[in-house]
């Protein structure tokens, strides 16, 4: 099952806006290397999980991985061929709202070459462009 919040105050949420750049979560906090988003968009729990699996398979149980995003926002969908009206549809899945500059994943305790390849594999699973970043003083 894909990632989703255990509890929430309200079951459904309005669409909202994704304008602007990330004000927080845009610097490395835990590891030496990170995967940073360059464009904006929703990221589903399934996409986060697919990227995590790609990274961990490449690392072969070495190093430490931090996932810096979580899908808190519910996305609703009405059934196919349903007429207008009759309210908002049920919650289908949850998304993380990604803005440019957000650090999605971090890695530590591994060489830069291995981290770069792991993030390259993860980037192919994600719906937006990302870049590899390294901490100041880290050997790249």
pLDDT at 140: 72
C-alpha span between 54 and 57 (Å, rounded): 5
Strands 91-98 and 64-67: unpaired
C-alpha span between 134 and 137 (Å, rounded): 8
DSSP string, 52-70: HHHHHHHHTT-SEEEE---
pLDDT at 28: 94
pLDDT at 1: 60
Residues 39/107, Cβ–Cβ less than 8 Å: no
* Domain coordinates in residue numbering, the chain: 33-77+88-134
C-alpha span between 104 and 102 (Å, rounded): 6
Neighbours of 126 (CB within 10 A): 21
pLDDT at 136: 83
Q: Domain 33-77+88-134 adopts which CATH fold? A: Aldehyde Oxidoreductase; domain 3 (3.90.1170)
Q: Which two tokens stand for residue 69?
A: 């995003």
pLDDT (tens, 9 = 90+) of the chain, 140 residues, equals 678 999 999 999 999 999 999 999 999 999 999 999 999 999 999 999 999 999 999 999 899 999 999 999 999 999 999 999 999 999 999 999 999 999 999 999 999 999 999 999 999 999 999 999 998 877 77
Neighbours of 54 (CB within 10 A): 19
């Amino acid at each position: 099952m894909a990632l989703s919040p255990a509890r929430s105050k309200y079951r459904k949420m309005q669409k909202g806006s994704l304008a602007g750049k990330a004000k927080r979560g845009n610097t490395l906090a835990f590891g030496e290397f990170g995967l940073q988003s360059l464009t904006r968009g929703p990221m589903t729990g399934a996409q986060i999980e697919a990227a995590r699996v790609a990274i961990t398979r490449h690392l072969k149980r070495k190093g430490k991985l931090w996932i810096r995003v979580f899908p808190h926002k519910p996305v609703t969908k009405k059934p196919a061929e349903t007429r207008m009206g009759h309210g908002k549809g049920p919650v289908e899945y949850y998304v993380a709202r990604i803005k440019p500059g957000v650090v999605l994943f971090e890695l530590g305790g591994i060489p830069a070459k291995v981290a770069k390849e792991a993030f390259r594999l993860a980037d192919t699973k994600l719906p937006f462009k990302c870049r590899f970043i390294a901490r100041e003083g880290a050997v790249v």
